[in-house]
Amino acid sequence: MEITAAVATEIGGAFTLQTVTLDDPAPDEILVEIAGVGLCHTDLAARDGHLPFPLPGVFGHEGSGVVAAVGSAVTKVAVGDKVVLSFNSCGRCTECRRNEPAYCHEFMAYNFGGARQDSTSTLHHNGQSLGSEFFGQSSFATYAIAHERNVVKVGNDAPLALLGPLGCGVQTGAGAVLNSLDCAPGSTLLVLGGGSVGLSAVLAGVVRELARIIVVEPHAGRRDLALSLGATHVIDPAAGPLPDQVRAIVPGGVDYAIDTTGIADVLQQAMLTVAHRATVGIIGVPADPEAALALNLIQAQVLGVRVIGIVEGDSDPDVFIPQLLELHRTGRFPFDKLVTTMPFSHINEAVAAQHRGEAVKIVLVHE
């Protein structure tokens, strides 16, 4: 079928809206009419060449919509079901069998390979194959092909167009607190970065009843939003050395720290803010793939610090997304307060607005 997609034609270039051809779903695939799709830092990192993906291609990995068709082997969803799209995984490796699909041994191939596992593309333009299957969906489009392992059925009463960020950014931040770090009630959390991932961590910190939630963010508007969502303290990194500012709030240091910036120098400073037996979670994607953290070995040993990498908040989307939706339904996880909607056709304006810090999480909706 012919669809409209936002195609990235060159590294760092603008998206162009093009009419492209989308394959019919294979027996194990699902065709989804996209209602909304989140604009995520990972989309832009891949477009800018910081993550591997073939161009020209179609990004988008926080889609939500309605099932329009299913392949003959699909049993999980049916035509008309409302779904959130998330990351893809193989379902066969050790971690997938442990219900830890975020650490699928084939994660890169299934999410960044740019084609089906048989090397065919789902998208074509003027006879040329396009990079497709981004996170098993490529949902910067009016329709997308997805798979049973990366679709999650949601209720008819859910605000469908706004749900896409649950598939990546929101579940990553919330999952870091609730799953990866499993923050203890009454403890202290430092969040580096007040974007959608960091503020989702704040919302989860409120759910977990943490005593102090400290957000470090250069944009004043995002600091104000963090406080309105439940952060107890906010820090402007330009106001002074980060360790001094944090320890003025918590002299003994923080129990948990989450980095969403991907900036090694920021994370290095955060290592000086932690308490004994603290855990530091690394989420942010660095611009430099060779970026490294210089860990003071004596400090790590004396304090018993643990540093862990976090992918997708250690989430099993089939389990975690319904949990987040139930928290939202009861008013305990108002992730929609992070969302600003813009027309899909304004995707380049949305990228610029997000870079300027004018919006936390933009969801592109189809007019």
> Each residue of 311-356: pLDDT tens digit?
999 999 999 999 999 999 999 999 999 999 999 999 999 999 988 8
CA distance 176 to 345: 33
| CA neighbor of 161 nearest in space, from 367, 326, 365 | 365
- CATH number of the domain at 173-310, please? 3.40.50.720
User: What value does the mean pLDDT take over residues 292-302?
Assistant: 90
At residue 112, what are phi and psi to the nearest 5 degrees?
Answer: -125, 0
Name the segment(s) of the chain with CATH classification 3.40.50.720: 173-310
Residue 357's pLDDT band, with cuts at 50, 70 and 90, is confident
- pLDDT tens across 169-204, in order? 999 999 999 999 999 999 999 999 999 999 999 999
Average pLDDT in the 89-114 region?
97
The reported pLDDT for the residue numbered 290 is 86
Q: How far apart are CA 283 and CA 83, in angstroms?
A: 25
**Residue 78 CB contacts under 8 Å (≥ 6 apart), including other chains:** 67, 70
**Residue with the two structure tokens 């990192």:** 45
> What is the signed CA dihedral for 307, 313, 315, 320, rounded to 10 degrees?
130
pTM for this model (two decimals): 0.95
Which pLDDT belongs to residue 50?
A: 87
Spatial distance between the Cα atoms of 131 and 233, rounded to a whole number of angstroms = 43
Would you tell me how many other CB atoms lie within 10 Å of the CB of residue 190?
A: 28
pLDDT band at 288 (very low <50, low <70, confident <90, very high): confident
Matching CATH number, 2-167+334-365, of 3.90.180.10, 3.50.50.60, 3.40.50.970, 3.40.50.2300: 3.90.180.10
| Among 198, 201, 147, residue whose Cα is nearest residue 41 | 198
Query: What pLDDT sits at residue 283?
Result: 95
3 state SS of 145: strand
Model pLDDT, residue 123: 98
The pLDDT score that the predictor gives to residue 6 is 98
The whole-number average pLDDT for the span 66-90 is 98
Q: List, for residues 228-245, the tens digit of each pLDDT value.
A: 999 999 999 999 999 999
> Residue range 154-163: average pLDDT?
93
Q: What is the tens place of the pLDDT at every residue in 20-48?
A: 999 999 999 999 999 999 999 899 999 99
Taking the C-alpha atoms of 178, 181, 182 and 183 in order, what is their torsion angle to the nearest 10 degrees?
A: -100
% of the chain surpassing 90 pLDDT: 92
Task: Report whether pLDDT(5) > 80.
Answer: yes
pLDDT in tens, 205-228: 999 999 999 999 999 999 999 999
Dist CA 15 CA 364 (whole Å): 13
Q: 3-class DSSP state for residue 287? A: coil
At 131 the three-state DSSP class reads: strand
pLDDT at 289: 80
Average pLDDT, the chain: 96
CATH 3.90.180.10 positions along the chain are 2-167+334-365
* pLDDT over 80 (residue 72): yes
